[in-house]
Amino acid sequence: MVNDEISDIANRIALGENKFEESQKLNEGIKAGMAVIKNATGISKHNFDDEIFGIMKEHEEFDLDTEITAAKYGDVVTEGYVPVFVEAPGAIKYAGSFLYKGSQGSIAFTEMGSPLAILEREVAATDTVAIVKLVK
């Protein structure tokens, strides 16, 4: 079975002790579990940026797997353990693997720059969600 939605691997975004930035305005529709960046107008999906602000947390008005509407305010997990969207690795990846910048709110296993997260659980070759620890 392919894990391709956050609800396939978790029932919430913050797993354990985490740090948050509350009430961030969304510049665009963003799903819980997507990597985001912060700019002067709010937050947007990470897209090959060298750093991420954090991972979009679930919103009380939306299902865990439903995109949160632009212009809403939401919380971002900035440190800790979280489920995230990843680019399908193409091969099994094991706990301890590093993840790097990716596209459209995902992070990737392809080495580019400094690591953004460390894989906490094994993922299959076609999985597009994973549990990670954010690296600050």
Tokens of 41: 């107008």
What residues form DSSP beta bridges with 35?
55
**Which stretches of the chain drop beneath a pLDDT of 70?**
none
Tokens of 38: 């912060």
In sequence order, which residues have a C-beta less than 8 Å from that of residue 63 and are 6 or more positions away? none
Predicted pLDDT of residue 111? 95
What residues form DSSP beta bridges with 31?
none
Predicted pLDDT of residue 16? 87
> pTM for the complete prediction?
0.96
Q: Domain-by-domain residue ranges, the chain?
A: 6-79
Which run of H or of E encompasses 92?
none
Predicted pLDDT of residue 17? 87
113-121 contacts, C-beta under 8 A, 24 or more apart: 113/50, 114/50, 116/35, 116/51, 116/52, 117/84, 119/93, 119/94, 119/95, 120/81, 120/95, 121/9, 121/95
